[in-house]
Amino acid sequence: MTFAEKSLWATVATVSAVFLTYFAAALPVRNGTDVGPVRVVWFVLAVVALAVTQGVAHAVLAVLDRRTDTDERGRLIELRGVRNGAYVLATAVFTALCAAIVTEGNAIFVHVLLAGWVAAQLVESGSQLVLYRRPV
């Protein structure tokens, strides 16, 4: 397995673990509520946890595998993954804006937008992992 694939697996694992924990703590959101200080603290803790876990995971991977070069196939796979993630993110932004129109408060809007970013990141990394395992 290449460094890029290991890096993608680390990204999928850390993003999934951190934001599943965040959403389990922050949800459900009642209609008509705003994001309060407690949820902001949870979000900041989630971002810090994500930065630390990804930093440690990628540092360990870099020490274990010094070959981080990418070839043309790797760049093509990366571009296709980014494209797939961008489609999901665009859909999530539209969905969040629609949710903002039909709900009171900003909590639902913020959490739909955040869930869309998480989904886009997972789709991007997941599609790259799939593409690494099959011919492009």
pLDDT tens per residue across span 71-122: 888 899 999 999 999 999 999 999 999 999 998 888 888 899 999 999 999 9
To the nearest 10°, the Cα dihedral for 96, 98, 104, 106? 20
What is the pTM for the complete model shown?
0.85
Q: Is 36 exposed, middle or buried (0-12, 13-18, 19+ CB in 10 A)?
A: exposed
Please tell me whether residue 1 adopts helix, strand or coil conformation.
coil
Provide the sign of the torsion angle of the four alpha carbons 50, 64, 8, 70, taken in this order: positive
Q: What is the 3-state secondary structure (H, E, C) of 29-69?
A: CCCCCCCCHHHHHHHHHHHHHHHHHHHHHHHHHHHHCCCCC
